[in-house]
Chain A
């Protein structure tokens, strides 16, 4: 392979003049993590709500939940990103649209909302599956004790469902984290975008991508570590 390796490149200053290439990648990593965390908050809350709607004995609630999931699951994330970023400001009333366009950090806010809504549909499916995997008698027992539907969900069904779906939720968290890279198409300067920029400036393709790869693998390991720590913490004595 006639490729000129230069691992020292990370310590050379980038043409942006804000530090070395290593700094550039690390700032990308920070944006990746912040975007992933913020969008996860939306995804988790909205996804839980939608997932619960799909388990209620109420046609309208089911329909809302199902429509949401089908809509957000059947359109590619990249297309959704474009809809939020390019289309939404145009179809809103003019004053809102121009406010959106002038928003500082618009790519960041767009990415957070887009990923949040997208991942919510996947979280919803997990939450629904978790609730439906519980014995039917659990809901009945809550009801028989006089708990309202909301109380039964809050104190009986959800605490158990979340424990069951912790592993698939971790996968969804990681998917969401990886999906932040799609936002490079709307100008978010996250890790993959920064690796790509480093490649364009320095021509050291493989060093840049190797560094990004290592960073992604590290975040994965850290997240899985945290997840198994949580799993141990919330484990119920005597179960499984």
Chain B
């Protein structure tokens, strides 16, 4: 019952929860978002390239990742990354890979599929005349992408990319299945150790809610600003 809700369990573990747990969560979120957006942009460009085969490869990548649960993908890469590392470095044994690296690879590759769909919609929403105008000025494909198309896409899509990053922030909690000490993992470890599940899980929920709610309010404000500028 809530009558014997014990705040001291929370206050006593704050530094562990935030300095260990939340720091892992935020670092993973930030790096995977940057990596995912970069890779996602590349995949979107591949998909719209009009070259032979390349669009199909990109489409297959996106559809494959989008049809799999993240939990399964986390397991996949947890076992696959050591072998991939071995293959890349040419070592004779599977590489030992830390929990952080494994999660970062997983989330970057997985979220890239989702970010690429956002970027694809963004690129397609830029009027065809823009590319034509850039071409008429003598720009190459890459120059026009870099200086004309993508800047507009990023400006238009920033709110949606940020919203997806909030989703990513929530998704990182699933590294729990690998017993990693992210924010939820830390909360869970304290909960098990002290037998205070109610306190720790409610506290975790409140913290996640506060972060995501404030972040999504900020995104909405940004969206309005962008809408005015346009």
A positions within 8 Å CB-CB of B: 1-3, 70-71, 73-80, 82-83, 86-87, 90-91, 94, 174, 178-182, 184-185, 192, 195-196, 199, 205-206, 209, 212-213, 216-217, 219-220
With A79-B204, A90-B1, A185-B177 as given contacts, are A74 and B197 in contact (CB-CB < 8 Å)? no
Whether, in the assembled complex, B154 has its beta carbon less than 8 Å from a beta carbon of chain A, the answer is no
With A70-B213, A195-B72, A217-B64 as given contacts, are A91 and B2 in contact (CB-CB < 8 Å)? yes
Contact A76 B184 (CB under 8 A): yes
With A91-B2, A174-B67 as given contacts, are A76 and B173 in contact (CB-CB < 8 Å)? yes
With A90-B197, A178-B69, A178-B70 as given contacts, are A1 and B86 in contact (CB-CB < 8 Å)? yes
Select from chain A the residue with minimum beta-carbon distance to B197. A86
Shortest 3 CB-CB distances between A and B: which pairs? A181-B69, A74-B212, A220-B67
Contact A75 B205 (CB under 8 A): yes
Contact A79 B72 (CB under 8 A): no
Select from chain B the residue with minimum beta-carbon distance to A180. B69
Contact B205 A79 (CB under 8 A): yes
Q: Give complex CA distance A168, B133 in Å.
A: 34
Contact B87 A79 (CB under 8 A): no
Residue pairs across A and B with Cβ atoms less than 8 A apart, 29 shown, are A1-B86, A1-B87, A71-B209, A74-B208, A78-B174, A79-B205, A82-B201, A83-B201, A83-B202, A83-B205, A87-B202, A90-B198, A178-B68, A181-B71, A181-B72, A182-B71, A182-B174, A184-B71, A192-B71, A192-B72, A192-B75, A196-B75, A205-B79, A206-B79, A206-B80, A209-B75, A216-B72, A217-B64, A219-B67
Contact B170 A77 (CB under 8 A): yes
Whether, in the assembled complex, B141 has its beta carbon less than 8 Å from a beta carbon of chain A, the answer is no
Interface size of B as a range? 35 or more
Whether, in the assembled complex, B20 has its beta carbon less than 8 Å from a beta carbon of chain A, the answer is no
Whether, in the assembled complex, B176 has its beta carbon less than 8 Å from a beta carbon of chain A, the answer is yes
Question: A residues within 8 A CB of B212?
Answer: 73-75
Interface hits, B143-178 → A, CB 8 Å: 170-171, 173-174, 176-177
CB distance from B114 to the nearest CB of A (A): 11
Interface hits, B114-131 → A, CB 8 Å: none
CB distance from B103 to the nearest CB of A (A): 14
Interface hits, B165-216 → A, CB 8 Å: 170-171, 173-174, 176-177, 184, 188, 197-198, 201-202, 204-205, 208-209, 212-213, 216
